[in-house]
Amino acid sequence: MIKPRLLDHYQKKVLPVLKKEMGNAPDLAIPTLDKIIVSIGVGDAAKDKGILKTNAAFLAKITGQKPIITKARKSVATFSLRKGQPIGLKVTLRGQKMWSFLDRLISLVLPLVRDFRGVSPKSFDQNGNYNLGLREQIIFPEVSYEEVDKKRGVRVTLVTSTSDAKLSKRLLELLGVPFTKENQTNRTAASN
């Protein structure tokens, strides 16, 4: 199997830069990407089982892996939700599929977002993982408009080996994730 382009870039360019910035730390101390979780919510699948099947095919097409069905942990009467009811689909990517997916996300999918100026640098959680929400699944080039039942959001979580958000951000910057500049983020927040 051919080594993914982004993995090669990580090993040849990113790793030496991070090692130098961290004061020649050992290779195992250098942050890396552990896994990518791609998920989609299908809460209306209880009414129509075809929705679950359609969206599972969509997720399999964009990730190259069969998704698992996530189910409700408890019943919530206000949402007409019963325990055990399917509410989402999720795929966990590791290894070469993970690197290939991230490469396609950065170079093909994100530039297709309307008025794209970069992703928010404030979406890191306390564990150093980056969460990215895409409003429409039709921006993926593998999906045709006719296959989509309705517009659904896709959540992508980039899980790193470090719990430090600054190191995670630096890793993703070096990998090519296009973050917005701080002053651009403040300007857009002020205009809303």
How do residues 133-184 score in pLDDT, each as one tens digit? 888 777 787 777 776 667 788 899 999 998 888 899 999 999 988 888 765 4
- Contact status, residue 83 vs residue 70, Cβ threshold 8 Å: no
- The stretches of the chain forming alpha helices (DSSP H) are 5-9, 15-21, 49-63, 95-104, 165-175, 182-191
CA-to-CA distance for 100 and 8, rounded, in angstroms? 11
- The residue-averaged pLDDT of 34-55 equals 81
- Return the CATH number of the domain spanning residue range 5-15+32-175: 3.30.1440.10
Amino acid occupying residue 25: A
68, 58, 85: which is closest to 152 by C-alpha? 58
The structure's pTM equals 0.82
